[in-house]
Chains A and B, each alone.
Chain A
Amino acid sequence: MLGSIIASGLAAGAIYALVGITYNTMFSTSRVMSFTAGQLAMLGGVFGSLFMLKMGMPTLVGFALTLIACAIIGVITEFVAVRPVLKSLEQHLYVLSTLALALMIQQVTAIKWGTEPQPFPRIVGLGTGVWDEKFWLPVVACGLTILGLEYLYRRTLVGHAFMAIAEDNFAARALGLPERNLRVASYALAGVIGGVAGFAGGELMLAFFANGALLNFYGFVPVALGGLGNNRGALIGGLALGLFQQAANFLVGGIFSSVAVFAIFIIVLLAAPQGLFGSATARRV
């Protein structure tokens, strides 16, 4: 039992963490928390199943196409729901515009793909029981994504530019950084990360349209716990959330686990509004 709790907890946690990182990636260049984060992960599963099972493509091709499709959705998010409202961030219009887009994505998926969960193909075919690939694949994907992002942010020029914009948008623009293009790129990157989350978690969560809303919430919890824009916080928060949820699920049942997650979420928000790893910012007057 402990084995299954840990295996499924880490797997779910890794998916939550990846969705959290998707939120953060979009947030870093635009200060926008986009409701499309969970939808991107949902699409990762749906596209994967579509390309590989329905269309019979090889795994690698299907994977590449999934990521490309998700990246495109990410870019569309930027164009449709983020760019037009960036000027009026104060009014939180982005909450509405990204929500609208997320709903459109969800509804189109529900109609075109169906409202029943559909199977996701086995990808590697390694492992059984708690070592089944559906458990370790998300964890590996999460680890690789984190390493890749660390490399990007620390070692590459584009990564440094991302960091500069995240740190101070105006100063970065004054330095001559192509802020708009970098923002588009970050949304494409977010699309890829979301796609990875959905693809790697496909066997666990299946290709199901309602995963979007679910992941929107469970992916946001680690972000809220870890602090906006803090990937390390999202990783720790995500894994902790997954483990806690699965443990509660196995030990006391599903109702309690949902209630407990929600209760902890609210309590942490009230006790540490900036997140456990975030830093306070203030100046209102």
Chain B
Amino acid sequence: MTAITDIPTSRETTTKHSVLPALLPFLGVFALAMILPFVSNDYWALIGTRAAIYWVLVAGLNLVVGFAGHLAIGYVALLTLGAYTTSVLAAGNVLPPVPIYGALMIASCVGAVFGVIVGLPAMRLRTFYFAMTTLGFATIVTQIALAWQSVTGGGIGIVGPEFSAPFNTPWGFYYLCIGFAAVATWLSANIAYSRFGRALIAIRDADVAAEATGISKPKLLVSIFLLAGAMAAFAGGLFASLQTYITPDAFTFDLSVLFFIAILIGGRGSILGPMLGTIILTILPEIAAPLAAWSTFLYAVLLLLIVLVMPGGIAALLDFKNRRPLASNRAIVPRIAGLSDVLRKTATTKTLTLRDVVLTFGNVRAIDGLDLDVKPGQIHGLIGPNGSGKTTTLNVISGYYAAKGGTITLGDDALPPGMPELRAGKGIARTFQTPRVIGEASVLENVMVGGTIEGEATFAEALLSLPRHHRDERKLAAQARAMLGVVGLEALADVRADRLQHSELRFIEIARALMLQPDFLLLDEPAAGLSSDEITRLGALIKAISRRGTGVLLVEHHADLIFDICDQVTVLNLGKILAAGTPAEIRVHKEVVSAYLGG
């Protein structure tokens, strides 16, 4: 037995204190950037400005690559687009000249739109396709810049926009770009550490679970692509101004590689890492001049090394907190008494009803005319041999499979077939046979993901860190901590989830599901891999959950647990109901005993 009981009483203070150390490195970088003009020459102003501009782009791209896990390798295209849009508008060779700040804003809007267009395939397809569309977009943007001479000046190029005083000197422009870089950092951090940022990571590492918690992947990705596209195009406008004169040659694919690799060197799911990565990669060719021609080659070697040797990047190196060893003899002790504080009593009187549900895979009838009633406040056990359709039934209810026949209703409403991301909103939460947690996020964040749809602040509010967003965050964090206390994992709240034991992951999943305050909870073999003590505690926890009015559908192989806590049991065999009734009836049911339980 370990220190599970010593819950830090000063919860609030620890969270407040933890912000400052996280902020320190950023302040350090910012301070160094401020000092730079006093210790160097105009040449370094150029390099510093370049790093700042790149970071404006990378900060947005980082949300796409590092957080959402979509490999956008051609983002130089959006830089190009922004550079040309700003330059053409400011020069006024097509339309009347636009003031530079207006031109930058318009360019950002154009970039946002194209960011979404390029990202469309990412909504439905595997990573490689998205990598390819961004690559293809990069190819055609360069071709267009070359061919559309009347607007872009073709190979001869076009004059970049010019800022007015005091930003028309090298250092003046430098400070301006550092300012924009700081804003970009702030914006991207706001999203990264909001429920949207957690949802992005959830989509990346546990997309199935993300759907079950009601996260709408397309909607979220569109918001992110808008933001990243706008920031990239904005950076493009600044880049054009820095270059003073732009030709298609200025936007080589090498730049794309730099942006992309800066993020991977920095580490996924981090902001500081990619920022350091951007700075290092910008400076590297400058301090090693003979290497300049080989810089892309070096980046590529770095990329390969990172993939093969150090997938975590700089962020993993700097993550000292997660190197401290965890206690090895941990035990999970749920504090069930606390459940009534965090799980509101469900008032629902609706029954989750399946009638004559059929699901076929080819010629196999995985579910063959299933009837099932899960009543509020009751625990319904679903048992049967392997392949009898238990998990499949859960998947049909939670929308991963669309039933070929029959109806699923919640009270009087039919649940639409398919569409798993709508289930959370209907009050149905679930866990998975193989726990689907986000390994790279902390335990607390994993649980907070469960409450994503409970948040009220919009994406824009989170982006600008407005009060409603803070209220959401505080509420979610407090609720998640309390939930972790209930399942007995509070001591591990700040640990990376991939360091936990299998049994602990199962309890994380339950805590995450409870964050929805569900009317119905579907548990897929929650006891698998647990010790007998833990199973007993799990049983008590499930029972307590159902006493709050939640209907529980429990798929399990542990017959003792089933007979101990269930109010109703349905036995499946080959997709059909073999028997249904109270545990007492099932226990003595002849066919069940011979087919499944063993005599």
Contact = CB atoms under 8 A, between A and B. Distances in A.
A103 B264 CA distance: 16
By DSSP majority rule, is chain A's interface helix, strand, loop, or mixed?
A: helix
Contacts of A101: 300, 304
Interface in B108-133: 117, 120-121, 123-129, 131-133
A251 interface: no
Nearest to B128: A33
Contact of A285 (B147, B307, B400): B400
State the main secondary structure of chain B at its contact with A.
helix
Given A81-B304, A221-B136, A285-B395, 6 more contacts: A85-B308, A99-B303, A104-B297, A104-B301, A265-B136, A285-B432
27 contacts: A33-B128, A84-B308, A92-B128, A93-B307, A95-B131, A97-B303, A97-B307, A100-B304, A101-B300, A104-B301, A107-B300, A111-B293, A213-B253, A214-B139, A216-B132, A217-B132, A217-B136, A255-B147, A255-B148, A259-B140, A261-B140, A265-B133, A266-B121, A266-B133, A269-B121, A269-B125, A273-B125
A100 B307 contact: yes
B147 A100 contact: no
Q: How large is the interface on B (under 10, 10 to 19, 20 to 34, 35 or more residues)?
A: 35 or more
Nearest to B71: A95
Contact of B136 (A93, A103, A262, A273): A262
A216 B128 CA distance: 12
A115 to B, nearest CB: 10
Interface string A35-46: 000000000000
Interface string B382-400: 0000000001000100001
Interface of B: 69, 71, 73, 117, 120-121, 123-129, 131-133, 135-137, 139-140, 143-144, 147-148, 207-208, 253, 257, 264, 293-294, 296-297, 299-301, 303-304, 306-308, 311, 391, 395, 400, 432
Contacts, number: 115
A266 B132 CA distance: 11
A285 B306 CA distance: 30
Contacts of A220: 132, 136
B147 A253 contact: yes
Given A103-B296, A224-B129, A255-B148, A96 B395 contact: no
B597 to A, nearest CB: 27
Nearest to A92: B127
Contact of B294 (A96, A107, A254): A107
Given A255-B147, A266-B121, A285-B208, A103 B137 contact: no
B73 A99 contact: yes
Interface string A92-121: 110111011101101110010000000000
Contact-residue bracket for chain A: 35 or more
Given A103-B297, A111-B293, A217-B135, A96 B129 contact: no
A54 interface: no
Contacts of A103: 257, 296-297, 299-300, 303
Contacts of A284: 207-208, 400
Contacts of A216: 132, 135
A147 interface: no
A106 B297 CA distance: 9
A126 interface: no
Contact of A95 (B128, B297, B300, B304): B128
A102 B208 CA distance: 32
A111 to B, nearest CB: 6
A217 B125 CA distance: 16
A141 to B, nearest CB: 24
Interface string A250-285: 000111001101100110011001000000000011
B308 A217 contact: no
A99 B299 CA distance: 11
Given A262-B137, A285-B432, A97 B304 contact: yes
A213 B257 CA distance: 13
A93 B304 CA distance: 10
Most buried by A among B117, B133, B136: B136
